[in-house]
Structure 1
Amino acid sequence: MKHDTHIVCSCEIHKDKGDLDITWSHLKNAKYGCKYCAGKGKDISDYYDKIDMLKIEILSDYIGFEKKIKCRCKTCGFEFETMPKTLIQGKYYCPECSITQRGISRRTNSEIYKKKVYKDNPDILLLESYTRSKDKIKCRCKKCGHEWSSCASNILSEHIRCPACSSSKSEDQLAGILTSLNLNYERKVRFKECRYKKPLEFDFIIYDNNKNITFACEYDGEQHYMPIQYTSKQTAESHLVITQIRDKIKNEYCKSNDIIMIRIPYWEKNNMESFLIKKMKENKLDYILTETVTTTGCIQ
């Protein structure tokens, strides 16, 4: 049978409406039975029970399935206009109640999110409300007070920690390695001549037994290579630019003062010791590994 062949039939549910003239294609593909089952051609009175379940009161005369009618919400009393079609198909409710419900949903989601963050990251304080998983949220570290922004999903799924504290932990790890190698070192060293507005701080300065500087060592976190969103006046991009300017100043200072600079990138975090030894050998510094030094790993 051709798809455009007309067929005369009747609906078991709407026999009182008489015979229907439809095409074979429509009969075969129809999802809602006849046109009356699909919601076309009905009188508004056929839907009063369903509309009443939505707690909606009809205030104006019905003039067509797709013609707007005036309604009143029985819950809040708000009056509005909409098509009978949208009411019956369940696509439209009282707009005022919908807004209220969305607000409740957002507040509920925000509270649930806060509880999850507190469970996974108890040291993080959320400074903004949760909106969506892809939206960034302003945070503060309860330990050091550092503020930054991260995607809501990242804070949970990746267990993001405070960038400042994470950097400190990596530096502590590096300090432990220097100590285990029996190297004389000093942390947080500044030189008056090496400055960007004020003297810059080196993570580590390593000395030989005669307290001569052998090399400088820096641990470079992600913020040295890519924009990391902070919530200060600086944007992520400008913060990256300034960080790289400071790194360049340190590098140039070391070069002009014959100080070898070894930088350990964040992707070598789990391979720090072997990476450091490799760089020391490349720069012919491995001789200090065999020198007699203090067992504390610090300058005496």
Structure 2
Amino acid sequence: MKNIKFLAGLFLIITAFSFTSCENEPIDPAIDLGNIGGNPGNAVFRADFSGSTWNATSAQAIISGNIIRIGASKNNGESFGILIDGSTTGTYPANENILNFNPAGSEYGYWSINIDNPSENTGSITITNINTSNKTISGTFNFKGYWSDDTVTNILPTVFTNGVFQNVPYVVQAETGDTFFAKVNGIEFDEVDILAAEIGLAGQDFISVAAQNAALNSMTVSVRANLGAGTYPITGNIATDVVQASYTFDDEDFTATSGTVTIISKTATKIKGTFSFVTSTFNVTEGSFDVEY
């Protein structure tokens, strides 16, 4: 589905739950699986890979709009992240959603999409129960994980099997004041969802703001995390540009070849700015954003 373009652009952030949505606000820290509701052992998150069973020490889930997010981690820094384009029980293809395992200390990980063959059936995730009374979610998953840094070719895929999460607590996020606006070839881009986060791109930390409309077209604006207030040019050289932008239309990506991004203000948790850019086909004007990340 087209939505994977939007989700994949920010998949690294789901393992830490460091992002917000236009309809959401940050959640509480992940809950210790050894003491959920005073009932030790009530919840589990585990999976088999590389000849052993991985058991989480903490986990948390979010249900927001039409998206389910699940994160689990161990004390050593290893983590799983799951992002599902849906909010009900059922089975979802792994290659049309995101399942990700991050080794400790790495900005990259094994994720359920083969960049060279996105249509490959890499597995699935099944939501078996959403308990609205106890606010817990349960399910199973398995997937073939490809290393997310596609510039590295000597890391083989890893197969994750027997994935289980039971009674993982979830929250429903409340509304925030995040905003996003832009026009594409003079027509307003009417977003229905916004994701914002600080993530690693090409060895650098960027703050990325992504928006998606009802037609599943999406727009992303990224700025180097160490930038302050000011106006920065887009030249189309993603290796050197400190600000970048792109537009995905009808499942095709269009990268900005010129333009500017202005940071009006930035704090440790919020960024406000304006932007405009040109691709080979589209002219994006009157862009603005004001989001938490």
Could you say which TM-score interval applies, normalised by the shorter chain? under 0.3
Q: Which of these two proteins has the greater Rg computed from alpha carbons?
A: 1
Q: TM-score, normalised by structure 2?
A: 0.20
The structure, 1 or 2, with the larger RCO (C-alpha pairs under 8 Å, 6+ apart) is 2
Q: TM-score, normalised by structure 1?
A: 0.20
Higher share in strand = 2
Higher share in helix = 1
